[in-house]
Amino acid sequence: MSNAGDGTIGVGMVGHAFMGRVHSHAWRTVHHFFDVPQAPRLAVLGGRDLERTKAAAAKLGWEDFETDWRALIARDDVQIVDICTPGDSHKDIAIAALEAGKHVLCEKPLANTVEEAREMAEAAAAASARGQRSMVAFNYRRVPALAVARRMIADGKLGKIRHVRAQYLQDWLSDPDAPMAWRLRKQEAGSGALGDIGAHIIDASQFVLGEHLAGVSALTETFVHKRPIAGDPDGRLDDVTVDDTALFIGKFASGTMASYEATRFALGRKNSMRLEVNGEKGSLAFDFESMNELSYYDGGSPDETAGFRRILITEASHPYAGAWWPPGHIIGYEHTFTHEVFDFLTHIGDGTDPAPSFADGLQVQQVLGAVEASAGNESRWTAVP
CA 134 to CA 4: how far, in whole Å? 19
Collapse the DSSP code of 189 into the 3-class scheme (helix H, G, I; strand E, B; otherwise coil) and give the result. Answer: helix
Q: Does 29 bind a copy of itself (CB under 8 A)?
A: yes
Name which position in 13, 22, 341, 348 contacts a copy of itself (CB under 8 A).
22
CA separation for the pair 148, 152 (Å, rounded): 6
291 touches a copy of itself (CB under 8 A): yes
Does position 89 bind a copy of itself by CB under 8 A?
no
Question: Which residues, numbered 98-127, are part of the site for a copy of itself (CB under 8 A)?
Answer: none
* 291 close to 233: Cβ distance less than 8 angstroms: no
- Binding mask 37-76 toward a copy of itself (x if CB under 8 A, else -) reads ----------------------xxx---------------
Applying CB under 8 A, which part among 17-25, 118-126, 196-204, 231-239 lies near a copy of itself?
17-25
DSSP assignment string, 82-134: EE-S-GGGHHHHHHHHHHTT-EEEEPSSS-SSHHHHHHHHHHHHHHHHTT--E
Subset of 356-375 contacting a copy of itself (CB under 8 A): none
The span of 8-16, 85-93, 196-204, 317-325 binding a copy of itself (CB under 8 A) equals 317-325
Q: Closer CB to a copy of itself, residue 4 or residue 74? A: 4
**Binder to a copy of itself among 48, 70, 225, 270 (CB under 8 A)?**
270
d(Cα 104, Cα 270) in Å, to the nearest integer?
A: 31
Judge contact between 320 and 305, C-beta under 8 A. no
Q: Does the footprint of a copy of itself cover residue 261 (CB under 8 A)?
A: yes
Which among 44-52, 181-189, 322-330, 346-354 is the span making contact with a copy of itself, rule CB under 8 A?
322-330
Q: Which helix (H) or strand (E) covers residue 257, if one does? A: strand 257-263
Using CB under 8 A, which of 172, 230, 239, 254 touches a copy of itself?
A: 172
Nearer to a copy of itself, 30 or 124 (CB): 30
CA dist 305 and 151 (Å) reads 24
Q: CB of residue 309 vs a copy of itself: minimum separation in angstroms? A: 3
Query: Which residues on neighbouring strands pair with residue 276, listed in sequence order?
Result: 165, 285
Residues of span 135-164 touching a copy of itself by CB under 8 A: 148, 152, 162-163
**Angstrom distances, CA of residue 341 to CA of 50, 134, 169:** 27, 12, 26
